[in-house]
Amino acid sequence: MALILTFLGKGGVGRTTIAIATAKRFAAQGKRVLLALQEPETVLNVLLGDVPGAYPRELSPNLAAVQLQAATLLERSWEEVKKLESQYLRTPFFKEVFGQELGVLPGMDNALVLNALREYDASGQYDVIVYDGAGDQTTLRLFGMPETLSWYTRRFRKVFADSDLGKTLTPFLQPIASAVLNVSWTDDIFNQPAAQQANNILEQGKEALADPNRVAAYLVTTDDEAAIATAKYLWGAAQQVGLTVGGVILNRSQGDDATMQAFAPLSVTAVPVQAVNDWQPLMDTLPQFDQASQAPRPIAINVAERKVSLFLPGFDKKQVKLTQYGPEITIEAGDQRRNILLPPELSGKPVTGAKFQDNFLIISF
């Protein structure tokens, strides 16, 4: 299992440069590193002196790089879909459709990139994966997909089972499955082999995201007010998807006390202006990325005290909305929504109080 690092911040603050320097430093320490990038080829050619391909290629000892291209990832994933189809269907109907013919639907690129990162992680070939994506809400939606999709599965599983349509179709599923599919179908449409495999992948993604020793983000900003405001907003939004923000990199700066205080209690590392293509000074200035576990966790559940605490920096109580539905509570902050499945000890118990204190939303049951 690899450590997956990503960087968040306003465009133009130097996220890609920081990501490359981070990958180079880990490689210099003897770690096997994959640098996964989504920048255009022209930018990568300037920064790396080379253009990574659609498959990982070694650029220097211990350092491989790959350019994540949605069309190529779709072709590879489509071949996997056809393999699953031939496994479960007696008469596959996707076999005549080729990946090269498919267009990438809006939002699909996030799923493709996340799956690629999962596969690179599962390969066991890398100790560290440095992902340089858009660095904004798009990246947060990408990392939040396991939690979001899990919610849809939980919610619609119950909705379908309780609906007239579900009750009507259930008696016919087994004979249809026997006639068309190569598997025995039970009454639960969501409990089939393919669905179970998907659920397992989602659970693994959620567990990884909840562990700052596995997945962490760092904010990158400059002294510019707009860049600072963007970083603070992304900090709070990252907590909403369960992504731990381990610290702040203040790029092209000598370190301003006011800026550093704006991100308390995160550690802020000031990175002064560096000479072009002189990577070593920049590598030496970067923070210790293995300290992310010391940052405030996005969520903490205390069963004994019947409390759930969410760390929501960048928001005030007027921007936060709390609703409860059955065994779950939903937190809305900004344009982010998070559904929290409560443990059995708190499931079904009504919320008795909520307060916003020191950037924490504390919910009592």
Do 218 and 124 fall within a single domain? yes
pLDDT in tens, 37-71: 987 766 676 677 777 888 899 999 999 999 888 76
Residue 362 pLDDT > 80: yes
Answer with the one of 255, 272, 292 that is the final residue of a domain: 292
The pLDDT score that the predictor gives to residue 161 is: 59
Instruction: Confirm whether 315 is domain-assigned.
Output: yes
Do 253 and 324 fall within a single domain? no
Instruction: Confirm whether 195 is domain-assigned.
Output: no
- Confidence grade of residue 4 (pLDDT, cut at 50, 70, 90): very high
Do 259 and 114 fall within a single domain? yes
Instruction: State how far the Cα of 232 lies from the Cα of 295, in Å rounded to an integer.
Output: 15
Q: Out of 42-56, 239-253, 289-303, pick the least confident.
A: 42-56
**For range 221-225, the mean pLDDT:** 91
Q: Which of these, 247, 246, 250, lies nearest to 222 by C-alpha position?
A: 250
Do 114 and 240 fall within a single domain? yes
Q: Where are the beta strands (DSSP E) in 99-142?
A: 128-132
The pLDDT score that the predictor gives to residue 171 is: 60
- Confidence grade of residue 294 (pLDDT, cut at 50, 70, 90): confident
Do 210 and 359 fall within a single domain? no
- The residue range of the domain holding 34 is 3-73+101-149+206-292
Helix (H) / strand (E) element for 216: namely strand 215-221
- Confidence grade of residue 24 (pLDDT, cut at 50, 70, 90): very high
Do 109 and 218 fall within a single domain? yes
Kindly report the CATH number assigned to the domain that includes residue 323. 2.60.40.790
Instruction: Confirm whether 162 is domain-assigned.
Output: no
Residue 13 pLDDT > 90: yes
**Chain Cα centroid distance, residue 116:** 12
Kindly report the CATH number assigned to the domain that includes residue 60. 3.40.50.300
Instruction: Confirm whether 177 is domain-assigned.
Output: no
Answer with the one of 292, 327, 347 that is the final residue of a domain: 292
- The fraction of the chain above a pLDDT of 70, given in percent, is 73
* Cβ-proximal residues to 297 (8 Å cutoff; 6+ apart), any chain: 212, 244, 311
The pLDDT score that the predictor gives to residue 291 is: 82
Do 42 and 110 fall within a single domain? yes
pLDDT in tens, 79-121: 666 565 566 555 565 566 555 555 555 567 777 888 889 889 9
Do 212 and 337 fall within a single domain? no
Q: Domain tally for the chain?
A: 2
Instruction: Confirm whether 48 is domain-assigned.
Output: yes
Of 22-36, 149-163, 194-208, the range with the highest mean pLDDT is 22-36
For 148, the 3-state DSSP assignment is helix
The pLDDT score that the predictor gives to residue 104 is: 52
Do 279 and 306 fall within a single domain? no
pTM: 0.80
The pLDDT score that the predictor gives to residue 151 is: 64
Dihedral, CA of residue 124, residue 296, residue 23 and residue 35, to nearest 10: 60
Do 211 and 319 fall within a single domain? no
Instruction: Confirm whether 260 is domain-assigned.
Output: yes
Q: Half-sphere exposure of 113 toward its Cβ, with a 13 Å CA cutoff?
A: 28
The pLDDT score that the predictor gives to residue 107 is: 66
Q: Out of 140-149, 181-190, 275-284, 301-310, pick the least confident.
A: 181-190
Instruction: Confirm whether 140 is domain-assigned.
Output: yes
Please give the DSSP secondary-structure letter assigned to residue 365. Answer: -
Answer with the one of 274, 292, 310 that is the final residue of a domain: 292
Please give the DSSP secondary-structure letter assigned to residue 133. Answer: -
Do 355 and 319 fall within a single domain? yes
pLDDT in tens, 140-188: 888 887 777 776 666 666 655 566 655 555 565 555 555 555 555 555 5
Residue 295 pLDDT > 90: no
